[in-house]
Structure 1
Amino acid sequence: MHELIRDITLCILFAWMLGLLAHFFRQPLILAYLIAGFLIGPFGLKWVKSQESIAIISELGLIFMLFMIGLEIDLKKIVRAGPVILFAAGGQLLGGALLGLVLFAGIGLSLAAGFDAIYLSVACALSSTVIIVKVLYEKRELDTLPGRVTLGVLVLQDVFAILFLAVQPSLGNLQIGVFLLSIGRVGVLVVTALVLSRYLLPWLFHRIARTPELVLLGALAWCFLIGEIAEQLHLSREMGSLVAGVSLSTFPYALDVTAKVTTLRDFFITLFFVALGMTIPVPNLSVIGLALLIAGFTVASRLVTTFVPLYLMKQGLRASLLPAINLAQISEFSLVVIQTGVVAGHIQTATASAVSFAFVILAVLSTFVMVRSDALTRRAIPALKRLGLRDLDHGRDAEAAETGGHGAARRIVLLGFFRAASALVAEMERQNVSLLKEITVVDFNPMVFRTLADRDVHVIYGDISNVDTLLHAGIGHAEIIILSVPDSLLKGATNEKLVRHVRSLNPAAKIVATADLLADVDQLYAAGADYVTVPRLSDAHELFSVIEAADQELLADKRAEIDARLGERREVLP
């Protein structure tokens, strides 16, 4: 026991020190934890060498990690996922797994005595939620179309991993009867967890909601209870903890439970990845070679299995490329899958080590590439067009030839289309529908392009930071040019740069720009804007009127008024 406490102390201390370095160099924390484990483990400094300590630390971390992954799987989002996300996820998962199986079996990894090829194909089909969400959040791209597609695919990847973990214990005797028995056991576990979480837990948690320590203790008790039921059903505690989390994900107190367990989650997930790092030996050339092959295959398979389905669904080159770039790494869940395979004796230690090294390689490279994904897509799209791939603007050249090199001139041009522009178009429909015949919208969101075209609004698919797009939009002949997208959401440009550029192309137009910060207002006017909108001012006015209505006991009337206004609108973006 004293040795275990000392080992946990070393794990946390080194994870913290290397985590600080990773934070300063903007690298994934998981990478720091793996390196910390390697340094203090049996293959490094040998400060932690008890296999029993490593196994206990790893299992505890794995149980908590899967519980939290389950809590964050939103079943309602899967049900609501549109055909684009479902088709993209299906193509990526099935295509990636099948291609991986062919490749890894083809290079001689066993499919008979062991299951290295199967585990590798599953591991390579999964992408890192931690890395993707962190980078997209920092880039403010979670709510963009490529961001939503990426997150939808991630959720369905988690479901795919759950299904694999369900049959994983039976891989050693994969007969149809054994397989059906495993599925039946999982069904019993899921039904038990869902029934209890639907009818018993809400009643209990409602009575302890004001006692945080009991909420935390109840969540932990639930995690270990379902884990123990899974063990009795000859599944695994890890599978049980995952089901425990999923069964709570739609439960009214899920958010509260997640908040309470987060600190413990971070602690035990740290222990899991440090313990995993301890199992990584000093690599030989064959392990390094396999790791590079896994990394290369993962990137190539994402381009084939993610880009192609999205492109075939006419999402455009940009919206098809970005999710493929976002998903081009190996998941932390892949390490979980591989670790369960090692514990079950299904795969070789060298194979598991290669996956860990591939995870490290892709974690670093993927973070670097995702940060620069917009610039990469701008370079890649012309090359793809030269190869014969058509984008949504493939008819633009013919139209330009007919109109003398630029698009049909419209009086009002909207450069970029997000929620403010969506609200403006809805307001035009409500107050003066004839104005819709006088506007041109320029944006590279394929959903916006199709929806506006269906409503007979003149829309041009293109990047507003590209001069050719602006010329084709008829910028030089417009009377009013509106930039309604804030700098935080613009890609490859800012409002100030766009104002200067547009002013040089059309000295006489009235230019309306948007300011994120109050300090930006004067700079935009100096750049040539005629009017600058500051969204926070209209928001403040609305909130102040709400406070006044509440003070006068008129809040219900205020709500009825806004509900009536919302009911009249048909916005392009929800």
Structure 2
Amino acid sequence: MPEALWISFAFTLGLIVKAVGLPPLVGYLAAGFALSGLATVTPLAVENTDVLDHLAHLGVLLLLFTVGLKLKLRSILSPEVIGGGLLHFTISCSLFTPGIYLLLDTDWSTSLLLAIALSFSSTVLAAKVLESKRELRAFHGRVAIGILIMQDLIALVVMSIAAGKTPSIWALGVFLLPLLRPLLYRLLDASGHDELLVLLGLLLALVLGGLGFEAVGLSSELGALVFGAMLANHPRAVELSKSLWSVKEMFLVGFFLQIGIGGLPDQQALVFAIAVALLLPLKGGLFFFLLLAFRLRARSGFLTSLSLANYSEFGLIVASVALPEWLVPLAIAVSLSFVISAPINRVAHTLYERYSGALSRFQADRHHPDEQPISLGDTRILVMGMGRTGSAAYDRLMDSEPRIMGLDSDPAKAHMHLKAGRNVVFADGEDTTFWEALHMPRVEAVVLAMSDIESKIIAARMLRNRGFDGFIIAHTMFADEAEKIKEAGANEAYLTMNETGVALASHIDDYLQADATTGGTRG
């Protein structure tokens, strides 16, 4: 059965590339090409590909729905997102179109459509990489996703024009969707925490968002994103996203397999793919300098541009509608950009840490919302990462020490804490320039409560490199990670689940001691 081959190849090659430090999605791409090569020997390998196409499409819809769940529309409507996205698209098309026309001997309309397809960046890859690093809500993550949404909207317009179709009059009903938000909130509240929650996510992403938008002549991808964004402000949006995680991941394997199974390239397609892959640094560099022009700091611009330095699956969709003869060369170019971009993004913070001196020379000396504090004043205790764990630690410590400050890499979350009365500001502990400028004369203890291991290691190392000799404490889920955090400079790194058990046991002790003092009379 073809499904058995898909699963076997995907698991085997995914495991191999993971063992060498690459994201498993690179292995899934390789599995697709291996299956395509196997198809030259036996058709069994890729028969019934309609099933794989459908699974891949469902994976993309679920990914975009979960991206929408983490979006704040206010963060998208910003100059760097709108201006940076539109300017990059315009400049890319202006440069790519005449180059393709002259080098490939195509007509102007084909050259323009190819240039448009190559101007887009991959929503699937960028969102997956940012999500795996827990950076979707970080400043640079939200800028990247905002620009990708701008590009996706442009792609939808191009596809509609190229296909000669226009949305139906019923598409205007989309503007009334915000009126459904109270009903969606009630459904989410009533769905509980088990399988009904998963089914609600599937209903909204695939049925109402996917099929619903298609029925009125709009993109199903846009529909999934919109329905996710409508729930982004609900307190249980994160729980809904986590409940869909395993389903989404399985379907996305089909997406990456589908790209490779599309067919083995000929020599001309390979030359085209390699040539445009060599242009990826120019694509990323253009993003970097445009974002600096909108007053972003070098670090934010660098991390955002690396997320966008690839080619898009939307380019393949545009090609399937308008340029079917270019579908295989573009598929190879997109796949190759994934192979290049994924491992580079995995070490993005390390790269910036190494080249921050050279890159920071290009940033402007003007204030921007991603600017970070340069002094902590009389703060004695610093809590880095204001999620559930960090917030709980902050509130507990606030009882005994009012001179406490929280830092978080999500400006929206920092603003939420400020409104709740906590002293929290935006700052990213992985940013070397933040540590270089920071003045922390009275800090005696630091709590590392960020969500990912890399952030904690960098923060602990930077604190010690600055000569901080106070107490550093962190938490993590795994013993090997705890050792790495302590090697970086932390005094203690506790295992989260162990500490939860200790806390529960302490409550029992308190109960038994109170019961003993009352002579066992409590009932």
After TM superposition, is the score higher than 0.5? yes
Counting only pairs closer than 5 Å after superposition, residues 145-544 of structure 1 correspond to structure 2 as 147-155=138-146, 157-158=148-149, 160-162=151-153, 164-165=155-156, 168-173=159-164, 181-182=166-167, 184=169, 186-188=171-173, 190=174, 199=183, 212=195, 216=199, 219=202, 223-224=206-207, 227=210, 230=213, 232-233=215-216, 235=217, 239-240=219-220, 242-244=222-224, 246-247=226-227, 250=230, 262-284=245-267, 286-310=268-292, 312-313=294-295, 315-330=296-311, 334-335=312-313, 337-344=314-321, 346-349=322-325, 351-384=326-359, 469=436, 482=444, 484=446, 486=448, 488=453, 489-490=455-456, 492=458, 494=460, 499=464, 502=467, 511-516=469-474
Structure 1 residue aligned with 2:422: none
Q: Distance in 1 between the 2:136 and 2:510 partners?
A: 34
Shift of 1:324: 2.5
Counterpart Cα distance in 1 of 2:179 and 2:362: 55
Q: Which amino acid aligns with 1:240?
A: S
Kindly provide the amino acid, as one letter, of the partner of residue 376 in structure 1: L
Q: State how 1:110-125 maps to structure 2 within 5 Å.
A: 110-112=107-109, 115-123=113-121
Paired with 1:293 and 1:268, the residues of 2 have a C-alpha distance of: 31
Deviations 1:436-486 (A, max 9, x none): 9xxxx9x99998xxx9xxxxxxxx9999989x959x96x9xx7x6635253
Larger radius of gyration: 1
Asked if 1:30 is matched to 2:28, the reply is: no
d(CA) in 1 for partners of 2:493 and 2:252? 45
CA distance in 2, matches of 1:366, 1:541: 43
1:63-102 mapped onto 2 (5 Å cutoff): 63-74=57-68, 77-81=71-75, 86-102=78-94
> How far is the alpha carbon of 1:418 from its aligned partner?
6.3
In the alignment, which residue of structure 1 is the partner of 2:418?
A: none
Instruction: After superposing the two structures, state which structure 1 stretch, 35-44 or 6-15, moved more.
Output: 35-44
Counterpart of 1:40, as a letter, is L
Give 1:64 shift. Answer: 0.7
The one-character-per-residue Cα deviations of 1:308-334 (angstroms, maximum 9, x if unpaired) are 434642x4333333332343334xxx2
Distance 1:528 1:265 in 2: 37
- For residue 32 of structure 1, report the CA deviation from its aligned partner: 2.0
Pick closer, same or farther for the CA change 1:82–1:65 going to 2, 3 Å: closer
What's the % identity of the aligned pairs?
A: 17
| Segment of structure 1 superposing worse, 17-26 or 381-390 | 381-390
Task: Check whether the contact 2:81–2:143 (CA below 8 A) recurs between aligned residues.
Answer: yes
Match of 1:53 among 22, 37, 48: 48
TM normalised by structure 2 equals: 0.66
Give deviations 1:222-270, integer Å, cap 9, x for gaps. Answer: 835765555554x37xx33651563255457877776665555444432
Give me the whole-angstrom Cα distance separating, in 2, the residues matched to 1:521 and 1:206: 36
Q: Following the alignment from structure 1 to structure 2, what is the Cα–Cα distance between the partners of residues 381 and 97?
A: 27
Count residues in correspondence: 477
Q: Distance in 1 between matches of 2:13 and 2:46?
A: 23
Which deviations, in whole Å up to 9, do the C-alpha atoms of 1:49-97 show, x marking residues without a partner? 798733x1343124312430342143683334277xx233224321222
Asked if 1 retains the 8 angstrom alpha-carbon contact of 2:382 and 2:446, the reply is: yes
* Aligned 8 A contact 1:444 1:461 in 2: yes
Task: Give, in whole Å, the separation in 2 of the partners of 1:42 and 1:52.
Answer: 13
Residue 329 of structure 1 aligns to a residue whose secondary structure is coil
Structure 1 residues 49 and 240: CA distance shift in structure 2, 3 A: same
Q: Is the 8 A contact 1:127 1:328 kept in 2?
A: no
1:2-61: per-residue Cα shift (whole Å, max 9, x none)?
xxxx2333222222222222322232333222222222226854434798733x134312
Supply the distance in 2 between the matched residues of 1:514 and 1:382 (Cα, whole angstroms). Answer: 27
Assess, with a 3 A threshold, how the Cα gap between structure 1 residues 158 and 62 changes in structure 2: closer, same or farther. farther
2:474·2:494 contact (CA, 8 Å) conserved in 1? yes
Matched letter for residue 94 of structure 2: V
Distance 1:327 1:25 in 2: 24
Change (3 A) 1:290 1:415: farther
Which runs of 5 or more structure 1 residues have no equivalent in the other structure?
Answer: 1-5, 393-406, 452-459, 504-510, 553-574
CA apart distance, 1:105: 0.8
What whole-Å deviation, never above 9, does each CA across 1:264-306 have from its counterpart, x for those lacking one?
544443233323212132341x433432343343432333324
Aligned to 1:556: none
The letter for the 2-side match of 1:112 is S
Unpaired runs of 5+ in structure 2? 102-106, 368-373, 416-426, 514-523
| Aligned twin of 1:132 | 130
- Contact preservation (8 Å) 1:316, 1:446: no
User: Deviation at 1:221?
Assistant: 9.6
Query: Match of 2:341, as an amino acid?
Result: S
Is the Cα contact below 8 Å between 2:448 and 2:475 reproduced in 1?
no
Whether 1:21 aligns to 2:16 is yes
Q: Secondary structure at the match of 2:471?
A: strand
What is the rounded CA distance, in whole Å, between the counterparts of 1:226 and 1:446 in structure 2?
27
> Match of 1:26, SS?
coil
Cα gap change, 1:197 to 1:485, in 2 (>3 Å)? closer
| Conserved? CA contact 1:73–1:158, under 8 Å | no
Amino acid across the alignment from 2:5: L
Pairwise CA RMSD: 5.9
2:470 is paired with a residue whose SS is strand
Judge conservation of contact 1:60–1:268 (CA < 8 Å) in 2. no
1:489-539 deviation digits (Å, cap 9, x = unpaired): 3565746x8558738xxxxxxx4221337999999999999x989898999
